[in-house]
Amino acid sequence: MVNPIDFEISGWDISNMNMFDACKRAHVLEPTLVNALQKDLEKIVPLPAVLNQAFIAANQSDRVDNVYTGTNQECIDKLRKDIQDQKAKVDKVIVLWTANTEMFLLPEIKDINDLKDRIGRDVALPSSVLYCIAAIEEGVLYLNGSPQNTFHPGVIEYAKEKGAFLGGSDFKSGQTRFKTMMSDFLIGSGIRLSSVVSYNHLGNNDGKNLQEDKCFQSKKISKAGVLDDAVKSNTILYPEDNKHIDHEVVIKYVPFVQDSKRALDEYSSSIFMNGINTISSYNICEDSLLATPLMIDMVILGELFTRMTINDEAMGPVLSYLSFFFKAPSTNHDEYVINSFSRQRECLVNLLKAAAGIQPDDSTLLAFKF
């Protein structure tokens, strides 16, 4: 695996604020640390970003002072040039989308012809799709850290044609990761989980953008699927005619708490003799500091997977083994989307063991001849 110390970090932003001033504005890192790194951080200035503001919240307009404008094709060409410039500096480029959640693009892009037609006719496309197309055409890995539907069937087909790689979607760092473990635990214990209610409030720019319903709906859809795998795992608790779980997600913007996210969850289960068992949790976390290590992990593992082959065949175009890091995992085949925390982890660990020539986990304990 590559050493994260060897990373060269660059990127785009709709704000031209250098990294030092951006750190001051974000109120995430300790001021003493930020001040000690002032000279280095001031040198990092974002490249002009491509933006279609119709797909994000209107309240982001006060940040927009560093944007490249043009046709769809001109924007893709500009992004490709930026990637090419970075390629000249390093051995390999990986594009990681950590920008604002966009609203869903409907109707979806059904195939390559549909994709090229929309680009050529300059049909309004969300920025994430334009970045993704630029990455595909440059043959680099694109990781989608937000919940919008960037990976349309036509985009995945295009990545396969170009031999590029994709991973996503939507970082799974705090509340949702906990939810995949709790649903595993309850349903795996033979308890029917009947209601899951999740409330969040946060004060960073992510929370501000999610105030607008069109952006929140993308997040809600992303969070909704995390229970599907647990439900499918037990057809006795969840028979064909009764698979429903009441699942609600609420996100509120409270500027005062800044990056310190508050997450409250309530898990209610139907138990013996029509009883009810309720487990409540309250989690306070630094939102950005939970997400950043995931970004490092998925860049390192994603880069490794771009070099791995199975029976002389490259993985992809979707790097499905990265599902462990995402709320709404994308795969190459709909029939094996896995949301369960324990199954995702076991899948990833066993792949790495097999690649290293180590025997994958066997939990049967048959070797002990019980």
Q: For the chain of 370 residues, list the mean pLDDT of each consecutive stretch of 10.
A: 92 95 93 96 96 89 92 97 97 94 91 96 95 97 92 95 94 86 90 94 85 79 73 88 91 92 95 95 90 94 95 92 90 80 89 92 75
Would you say how long the chain is, in residues?
Answer: 370
Amino acid at 170: D
Range of the domain at 230: 175-286
Q: Are residues 141 and 14 in the same domain?
A: yes
Q: 189 and 139, same structural domain?
A: no
The verdict on 211 and 107 lying in the same domain is: no
Q: How many domains in the chain?
A: 2
The pLDDT score that the predictor gives to residue 370 is: 62
Does a structural domain hold residue 310?
yes
Q: What is the CATH number of the domain that holds 302?
A: 3.40.50.720
Q: Which of 265, 286, 307 is the last residue of a domain?
A: 286
- Quick check: is 364 in a domain? no
| One domain for residues 22 and 107 | yes
Residue 47 and residue 183 in one domain: no
Residue 330 has a CB neighbour count (10 Å cut-off) of 23
Domain boundary among 258, 286, 314: 286
Q: In terms of DSSP bridges, do strands 192-202 and 260-271 run parallel, antiparallel, or are they unpaired?
A: antiparallel
In a domain, 187, yes or no: yes
Give the Cα separation of 79 and 70 in Å (integer): 12
Predicted confidence at residue 108, as pLDDT, reads: 93
Q: Are residues 27 and 119 in the same domain?
A: yes
Residue the block writes with tokens 């635990």: 185
Are residues 35 and 156 part of one domain?
yes
End-to-end CA distance of the chain: 39
CA angle 88, 89, 95 (to 5 degrees): 90
User: Does 155 lie in the same domain as 18?
Assistant: yes
Q: Which residues participate in catalysis according to the annotation? A: 170, 219, 261, 327
Core vs surface per residue 168-202: b (16+ CB within 10 A) or e: bbbbbbbbbbbbbebbbbbbeeebbbbbbebbbbb
**Domain co-membership, 80 together with 153:** yes
Pair 220, 329: CB distance under 8 Å: no
- Please indicate, yes or no, whether residues 187 and 330 belong to a single structural domain of this protein: no
CA separation, residue 68 to residues 13, 53, 74, 127 (Å) = 10, 12, 9, 11
User: Last residue of a domain, which of 286, 314, 331?
Assistant: 286
pLDDT at res. 176: 84
CA distance 244 to 228: 10
Has residue 186 been placed in a domain? yes
Residue 22 lies in a domain: yes
Whether 40 and 133 share a structural domain: yes
| Residue 163 Ramachandran class (φ > 0 left, ψ -120 to 50 alpha, else beta) | left
Domain of 265, CATH number, reads: 3.30.360.10
d(C-alpha 325, C-alpha 172), whole Å: 5
Residues 191 and 142 both lie in one domain: no
- The DSSP letter of residue 90 is S
Confirm whether 370 is domain-assigned: no
Q: 362 in a domain, yes or no?
A: no
pLDDT of residue 263: 92
Q: Would the pTM count as exceeding 0.95?
A: no
Q: Does residue 24 lie within any of the structural domains? A: yes
